[in-house]
Structures are given as structure tokens and as C-alpha cells.
Amino acid sequence: KHIKVEPARWYWHCDRLGMIVWQDMPIGDQAGFNPQWQNKTYFTGEEKQRSATSEACYRKEWREIIDALRGFASIGVWVPFNEAWGQFKTVEIAEWTKAYDPTRLVNPASGGNHYLTGDILDLHNYPEPSLYLYDANRATVLGEFGGIGLVMKEHLWEPDRNWGYVSFNSPEEVTDEYEKYAAKLGELIRRGFSAAVYTQTTDVEIEVNGLMTYDRKAVKVDEARIRKINEKICNSLNEEKR
């Protein structure tokens, strides 16, 4: 769950529906704070230092988020940093998070600026799945992929400004592309992926790469085909575990 913390009712529905939530810490700080971006290798740069006030604010708010949400069964993963946004003291923060709530997995640095800490190595790649790093001692996951765009004009947040990582013209074309990515993901499961997160469930403002529209009034793919494709992926993962 990028950028925000939802109301308790949202997590209650996730509990009820059996959805697993990866909860980010919504990161803020001064403009340009983010450290150098390295996503294809382990981080070899120099982490930036937050001010004492900023660091104290981060630690206070991250603790409060965990305290507020730890009672929801749907929370499966804590994510202290996403794509280097405000990233600092990664190992220390990841280890503190794990010690504070040892019942959940910790994804220390989602998408890049990776360290050998936490429970997960999380790769992001658009549009197709790609496995360019692997850690045998942690779960290697594809935290973001896909982003297949389809414009449905009557359901846009902003009519004249929208984008996807790739763009198509019909639900059939989007579903075909999704199936192509799923086949590649199935191959990569055999090479080491333990989980994957598709971008994304719904359109988000100008991003038109959702399975549903921004207003949730239209499904943008062939729902029956998507279900079969996803079931095949899950079966592949279960077969690998056996």
C-alpha cells in the first residue's frame, strides 16, 4: 500500500476478503532528499542523513502506524522504504521493525537500494517480469511489474492527461498482454521468485494501468481469463514448493 495509510474500515475489508497487505511507511522529507538510486545491484552508494527532527518524526510515525494496524490480520508485510523515498539507516530501521513486530515479514527496501537485511529482496521491473537479483536466504519477490494501460474515456480521473507503461486499445489486448507476462512469471517462479505484485488493481488518478477504472465502475480485462491465468500462476508456485 504505497503513499498512504487507509482508514481502519479498509483493512477490515481486507481481513474479511483474505487480501494480504504490504504496508509502506509513507515517506516525506525535504525535496531531493532521496539517495542515489541503484536497483540492479546491492546498494554501494552513501545513504543521506535526515535531520534529527526528521528522523525523530519518521521513527515516531512508523511506530504509530504499526501500533494502529498490527491488529489487522491482513497486514502481512511492513515496508519501511519504497524506491529510495526518504531512505536512511536502512539496516537499523529494518531490524527495529522486525524486533518491534516479529509476527510480520519486513521488506526493507522495496524496488532498489537493496541491503542484506529483512526477510525480502524486492525487485521492480516494467513492464515484463525480470529476475536480475536473487537471495537464497530471503524471499525474492517481484514487488512491481505490469502497468498495462487502457484508456476508457468515460471513466477517467483527468480526461486529457493519462499514461500506462504500455498502452493498448481493448480489454482483449490487455488480457493477452497480461497472459504473456504471466507466462514469463511462471518461468521465473522456477528460477526463484516467491511472490509477485501486479501494477495495479485500479486506475490511480492519471495512471490508467488498473484492472479496474478509477471510479471502480468498469473492469478493464476479461475477468474470467484473468482468474484462470492467476490460478495457473498460483498452482505453479505451489508445485515449486512441493
CATH code for the domain of 42: 3.20.20.80
Output Rg (C-alpha) for the chain, integer angstroms: 18
Domain that holds residue 27: 1-118
- Which three-class secondary structure string do you get for 132-162? CCCCCCCEEEEEEEECEEECCHHHCCCCCCC
Instruction: With a cut of 90, say whether residue 144 has pLDDT above it.
Output: yes
Last residue of a domain, which of 96, 118, 140?
A: 118
Q: Considering only CA atoms, which of 128, 122, 213 is closest in space to residue 166?
A: 128
Question: What pLDDT score was predicted for residue 2?
Answer: 84
Q: Within this chain, do residues 4 and 107 fall inside the same structural domain, yes or no?
A: yes
Question: In sequence order, what are the residues at sequence separation of 6 or more whose Cβ sits closer than 8 angstroms to the Cβ of residue 129?
Answer: 142, 145, 181, 184, 185, 188, 193, 196
Which residue carries 515516531 as its cell? 60
Judge whether 123 lies within some domain: no
Phi, psi of 147 (to 5 degrees): 70, 40
Going from the C-alpha of 190 to that of each of 134, 219, 235, the distances in angstroms are 12, 31, 12
pLDDT in tens, 59-75: 999 999 999 999 999 99
Bridge partners of 167, per DSSP, are: 149
Residue 79 lies in a domain: yes
pLDDT at 213: 97
Question: Residue 137: inside a domain, yes or no?
Answer: yes
- State residue 25's pLDDT score: 96
Report pLDDT for 35.
78
Average confidence (pLDDT) over 129-153: 97
With a pLDDT cut of 90, the percent of the chain lying above it is: 85
- Four-CA torsion 160, 165, 171, 176, nearest 10 degrees: 160
Same domain? For 110 and 164 the reply is no
Same domain, 99 and 171: no
Containing 21, the helix (H) or strand (E) segment is strand 21-24
**Domain count for the chain:** 2
pLDDT per residue as tens digits for the range 89-123: 999 999 999 999 999 999 999 999 999 999 999 99
- Choice between 94 and 84, residue whose per-residue pLDDT is larger: 94
Does one domain contain both 98 and 157? no
Instruction: Say if residue 111 is in the same domain as residue 134.
Output: no
**Which of 157, 165, 164, 167 minimizes the C-alpha distance to 205?**
157
Are 148 and 195 found together in one domain? yes
Of 44-53, 67-76, 216-225, the range with the lowest mean pLDDT is 44-53
Whether 140 is in a domain gets the answer yes
Residue at which a domain ends, from 118, 147, 170:
118
**Residue 160 or residue 118, greater confidence:** 118
Q: What is the mean pLDDT of residues 160-183?
A: 96
Query: Which pLDDT value is given to residue 114?
Result: 98
Task: Please write the tens of the pLDDT for every residue from 18-40.
Answer: 999 999 999 877 655 677 899 99
* pLDDT score of 36: 87
Pick from 31-40, 145-154, 229-238: least confident? 31-40
Domain endpoint, select from 95, 118, 141: 118
pTM: 0.93
